[in-house]
C-alpha cells in the first residue's frame, strides 16, 4: 500500500476528485512495481472535465498522493476533456510482461485524442510521466 492517498479538505464534493481517489486506491495494491513507481514520483498532475466544469489536481510526493479540488500550482501534465473520456483512462490495460498498452480501451483513448475529446498538455515534454500516471490509474 502506498504511504498515503488522501483527499484534501473540501475535495470530497468534487466528483472528479472522488473518481481519482477511487482509481488510485483500486490501483495501488501491494504490488512492488506500483510501490516503486509511487516512491519515485514527484509531480503535479491536473485533470479538467470541460463538460462539467470540474478540475482536480494530483500531487505526488515520493509515495504520498494528495488529491485537491480545483487547480493547485502549475501542473507538470494536464489531462483535459469530457469527463467520460477522462474516466476511460482508468480502464486502460497494459500487457503484463512488456508493460505496453494492450486491449481495445487504448483505441477508444486514441479516438478521444484524435477527436479532441481528450487533450494532454505537457505530453511531449513529459511522456514518461504520462505513462506512469496512466499505469497508476489503470486497472492492471
Query: Which one, of 18, 14, 136, lies nearest residue 77 by Cα?
Result: 136
Kindly report, residue by residue over 12-65, the tens digit of the pLDDT. 999 999 999 988 887 555 566 666 767 778 999 999 999 999 999 999 998 889
Residue 101's pLDDT band, with cuts at 50, 70 and 90, is low
What CATH code is carried by the domain that includes residue 130?
3.30.1050.10
CB burial string 40-59: b at 16+ within 10 A, e below:
ebebbbbbbbbeeebbbbbb
Domain that holds residue 125: 4-137
pLDDT tens digits, 52-63:
999 999 999 988
Spatial CB neighbours of 113, under 8 Å, sequence gap ≥ 6: 119, 120
pLDDT in the model for residue 138:
78
Domain count, the chain: 1
pTM: 0.84
End-to-end Cα spacing for the chain? 15
Can you read off the three cell numbers belonging to residue 23? Answer: 482509481
Give me the mean pLDDT over the 83-112 stretch.
Answer: 72
Amino acid at each position: 500500500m502506498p504511504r498515503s492517498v488522501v483527499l484534501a479538505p473540501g475535495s470530497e464534493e468534487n466528483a472528479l476528485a472522488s473518481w481519482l481517489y477511487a482509481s488510485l486506491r483500486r490501483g495501488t495494491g501491494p504490488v512492488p512495481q506500483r510501490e516503486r513507481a509511487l516512491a519515485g514520483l514527484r509531480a503535479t498532475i491536473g485533470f479538467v472535465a470541460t463538460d462539467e466544469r470540474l478540475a482536480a489536481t494530483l500531487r505526488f510526493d515520493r509515495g504520498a498522493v494528495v488529491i485537491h479540488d480545483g487547480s493547485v500550482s502549475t501542473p507538470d501534465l494536464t489531462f483535459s476533456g469530457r469527463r467520460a473520456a477522462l474516466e476511460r483512462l482508468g480502464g486502460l490495460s497494459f500487457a503484463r510482461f512488456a508493460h505496453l498498452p494492450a486491449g481495445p480501451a487504448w483505441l477508444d483513448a486514441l479516438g478521444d485524442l484524435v477527436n479532441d475529446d481528450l487533450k494532454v498538455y505537457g505530453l511531449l515534454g513529459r511522456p514518461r510521466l504520462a505513462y506512469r500516471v496512466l499505469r497508476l490509474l489503470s486497472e492492471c
